[in-house]
Amino acid sequence: MRATLGVLLGLATVGLAACGEEGSSGTKAPASVSGAGCAPVAGDKLVVLTDDKQLQTADNIIAAINTKAADPALVAALDKVSDALTTEKLIQLNKAVVVDRKTSKVAAEDFAKAENLTTGIEKGKGGAIKIGAADFAESATLGALYEIVLDAAGYDATVQTIGKREVYYGQLTKGDIQVIPEYAGTLTEFINGQVNGKDAKTLASGDVDKTVTALKEIGGKAGLSFGKASKAADQNAFAVTTAFADKNGVKTLSDFAAKCSGKDTVLGGPAECPQRPFCQPGLEKTYSIQFGKFVSLDAGGPQSLDALKKGTATIALVFSSDGSLG
């Protein structure tokens, strides 16, 4: 999924490295941890806790467009997709592909029909439009949705799977492809690094409006335009089981901090989590959560999901649009 790629790219911007610190596997609670905390609660269903203090960068879905191709009808058609998407609907789209084993094309067609995406679309100037897609299921499905609405607007749209951002970004700015589904915060920082260097001041934040404003400013200088940011986001998130949430009455990370900071609380995440500002240090600094134990898992993948479901982690890093959350 995009989210797996996204967390690796996001962590890379702050310097990926093995954690390597004594005790980082969390075999015992640090002496400084106070409070009882909350032990894990096993369960089959998971829920993402709301990041109410905006620890994570806003990675809302947004169409990136080569400015030469960005005529009003094309942008308006792509905005139909953004208007229809929420994170919950994106989860269901990913579930249809990853869990239910539909193709991205079929999942997109079903969604477009259910949401009446082609209704009321105005015709544009037409012509061939190449839509790029990264090499993971979510991007392919979003690309298929873009193809449906652009065809309805009178364009001859096709989707081409390209691969990583480092590859397709150059093709997009050159006009070899005209459109690609993107993620606001991640793309903002990617372009920022390209233009201002790896040590550039961060432009993206947890505020989607401010992030998109920064993206349009820096992206415009690179020959890009953008559609609306959707309400759907695919970003780092922290989940618990629904059984845990119900038992402890938590819906947000602030709720979790108020009730579950302490020695019995087990955080699960990738090995780099104890050193990375958007993972354990961010939870500690932004929410004042203390953890009694850290368990090293994968980056939001099956290990992390299983640790929550089996009750070996109280809370773990996941991705907000993971189809397993549906």
Helices marked H in the chain — which ranges? 2-12, 72-84, 87-94, 104-114, 137-152, 165-174, 184-196, 208-220, 242-248, 253-260, 280-287, 302-310
Q: What is the structure's pLDDT at 119?
A: 96
Q: What is the structure's pLDDT at 201?
A: 94
Please answer whether residues 322 and 138 qualify as being in contact, where contact means their C-beta atoms are separated by less than 8 angstroms: no
For residue 161 the two structure tokens come to 């799977």
The torsion of the CA quartet 85, 189, 251, 1, rounded to 10 degrees, works out to: 60
Q: What is the structure's pLDDT at 23?
A: 33
pLDDT class for 18, splitting at 50, 70, 90? very low
Question: Which one has a higher pLDDT value, 280 or 26?
Answer: 280
Question: Which one has a higher pLDDT value, 4 or 233?
Answer: 233
**Does residue 199 surpass a pLDDT of 80?**
yes
Distances (CA, A) of 299 to 64, 231, 273: 26, 24, 9
Domains present along the chain, CATH in parentheses: 17-55+235-325 (3.40.190.120), 60-233 (3.10.105.10)
**DSSP character at residue 123:** P
Q: What is the structure's pLDDT at 76?
A: 98
SS3 state of residue 127: strand
Please give the Cα distance from 326 to 308 (Å, whole number): 15
Task: Tell me what percent of the residues of the chain surpass a pLDDT of 90.
Answer: 85
Q: What is the structure's pLDDT at 324?
A: 86
Read off the pLDDT of each residue in 83-101 and give the average, rounded to a whole number.
96
Please give the Cα distance from 8 to 317 (Å, whole number): 13
